[in-house]
Structure formats: C-alpha cells, structure tokens
Structure 1
Amino acid sequence: MANDIPNGNAANEANAAPSMNALIQYTKDFSFENPKAPRSLGQQSDQGPQMSLQVNVSTSAMSETDYETVLQLEGKAVLNNETLFAFDLSYAGVFRLINVPQEHIHPVLVIDCARMLFPFARQIIAEAVQTGGFPPFYVPAIDFAALFQQRMQELQAQQGTPDA
C-alpha cells in the first residue's frame, strides 16, 4: 500500500492549521480595598454607587511560540464622594500559538487570549467584592475586538497615518 503523505514533520507542521492553546492561567497581582469598613458596609442609598472600571491588556513573548497575556482590571465604587471598595487585578495566561501568521499574533493575544482570561478574572473580582461585605460586582462583558480596534485608531491618529 503506497503512502502519499510526506514523511517529514516539518512539512506537516507547515501545512497545519493555526492553533492556540492555554498552557497556564494565574493571578499575577491582586488587591482589594475596603477603606471605610465597617462604616461603609451599612451605608444605604436610594441610588447605587458610581462604578468605574479601567481595562488594559498587555502581552510579552516568552519564546517563538509562547506568549504571556495579562488582563488588568482596575475599578472602584464611590458613594457620596467616598470610596466603598476598590480592586486591581492582573490575571494572566501563557498561550502557545502555532502556525499563526506574524501579523495576526498581536490581535490573537489581545483579543482571543484576553477573552479566554476574562471569565476567570470576573469571578475573582465578584468573589472578592462579596467577601468584602458587598453584593458581588460582576464586571460587565468586554468587547476586546472593539477595544483593539479603538486602540489601533488612536495609534494611527497619534502617528498621523491616514486610513488606508
């Protein structure tokens, strides 16, 4: 029986479909502050606190195929000009990208990898806020593709590059 498949692994890898695998996920840094406790725990108001949230995604290469993506979520709840609670979470993962074209690596890392990390980071924050004595705060869904596009437009505007 004849075998028409090339014998070399290099040929098979070159023709393989792109793949992304999460190797590990971890909390890189986390802080939760409840600065006015226990006084803040009894505060009632007809209107809820003002919530603010900042999102940042950063990446770094660890090898030719392995990359770290860090999702940073920083937020706070303010009521009557007093901070009820604040959090700062850096949740990260190491991802292996194989056969991903070079021009697609950065978008995959900041969109797809961040999307994979988000539910875990969201749960950590909700549990910390609840353990701090408040109702759990579930970070709203984040459109990482829209954030990436917005950031690219900002960079183009800063560089004065016309849209092509």
Structure 2
Amino acid sequence: MAETQDNGNGDAQASQPPQQPRMQILGQFIRDMSFENIAAQKSLQGQTQPEISVQVGMDARKRQQDNQYDVIVKISITSKTKEEGDPIFLLELEYGGVFQVENVPSEQLHPYLLIECPRMIFPYIRRIVSDVTRDGGFPPLNLDNIDFVQLYRQQIAQRQAESQQTQPN
C-alpha cells in the first residue's frame, strides 16, 4: 500500500521510495597482460624465499551509452628473492569490466565506480593471477583481498597532494 502525501493544493500524491543503486556487469575482459619468468631466463636454481610486491591502480571512464562505464583494475606483481633481491617473475594485468550503473547520485558516482565495481571483478582477477603464476612454473599466487575503500582514499589524497604542489603560491 503506497503512502499518500498532500502537496498543499489538496491533490494527493503517492510518495515514491528512494531508488536503490543498481549495478550490472555487462562484460569483462583482459585489456593487457604480461608475465615474465625472469628466473627461468637467468637459470636461477634452488629454493629461494620470494618477496612479493603488489601495486594496484584503478581507472573509470564513461561510455557513449547512458549509464555505462568502463572500469579498469591495473595490477603489477613483482617477485624477488629475499636474500639478493634478484627478480623471479613480473606479472602485469589490466582487467576491465563494463558496468551499467543506475540510481547513484552524481556526487557518489566516482567513488562507487572505483570501489564497488573493482570489488565485483576482483575474484576474476585473483583467479587469473593464480592460474598465470601456476602455469608459469611457480606455486599459484592467491592474492589477499584488496581494501578498495582505502585504495580509493589513498588515490584521492595523492591527487590532492599533486595538485597542491603544481599550484602557484
């Protein structure tokens, strides 16, 4: 049963509940991927303890269609030996999703695209990284969950710091 509201003219209007944000993944794709097995190229032998570094970046772009966006997650993983710091492997992956996003206020759209959308495609990124490292001759690398909220905050803080440095005093 819908509630009615008087608009002051004696006309009753049905109040509409607020629309819930809606997201749909229309497609996913690998935009770019590179895996370099440096250990095999340099003939590194023996069991070494790896030190793994993961860098993550995100980007979002409006598509020509209404309410559709491309969201790209860029991951760069380097593995080096702990002892000498010799590189073992390098994996770079740009993974994208095409999203239909509706009922998100414009002031909340940017964080929504760079937090919620990457969160939705992250399980696929994790699987690709695991498969590629395993197929490259290493134990499968299972990425830990990424805190996309914290990552977004770091990117905003970095952009603000860069813009303050470029502004004339």
Tell me, yes or no, whether TM beats 0.5: yes
**Aligned match of 2:117:** 113
What stretches of structure 2 of length at least 5 have no aligned partner? 5-15, 165-169
Q: CA deviation at 1:136?
A: 0.7
Alignment RMSD (CA, Å): 2.1
CA deviation vs aligned residue, 1:110-159 (integer Å, no higher than 9, x gap): 00000111111111011111111111111221100011112222333344
Q: How many residues align?
A: 146
Answering whether residue 85 of structure 2 is matched by residue 81 of structure 1, we say yes
TM-score between both structures, scaled by the size of structure 1? 0.81
The separation in 2 between residues aligned to 1:14 and 1:95, in whole angstroms, is 24
Answering whether residue 54 of structure 2 is matched by residue 53 of structure 1, we say yes
Report the AA paired with residue 24 of structure 1.
Answer: G
TM-score between both structures, scaled by the size of structure 2? 0.78
CA gap 1:158/1:36 in 2 versus in 1, 3 angstroms: closer
The separation in 1 between residues aligned to 2:20 and 2:73, in whole angstroms, is 27
The separation in 2 between residues aligned to 1:96 and 1:130, in whole angstroms, is 33
1:1-164 to structure 2, matched below 5 A, reads 16-37=19-40, 39-40=43-44, 42-45=45-48, 48-62=49-63, 63-79=65-81, 80-160=84-164
Return structure 1 stretches of 4+ with deviation > 6 angstroms.
none
The separation in 2 between residues aligned to 1:37 and 1:125, in whole angstroms, is 18
* 2:35 alignment partner, SS class: strand
Q: Percent identity?
A: 34
Higher gyration radius (CA): 2
Q: CA deviation at 1:83?
A: 1.4
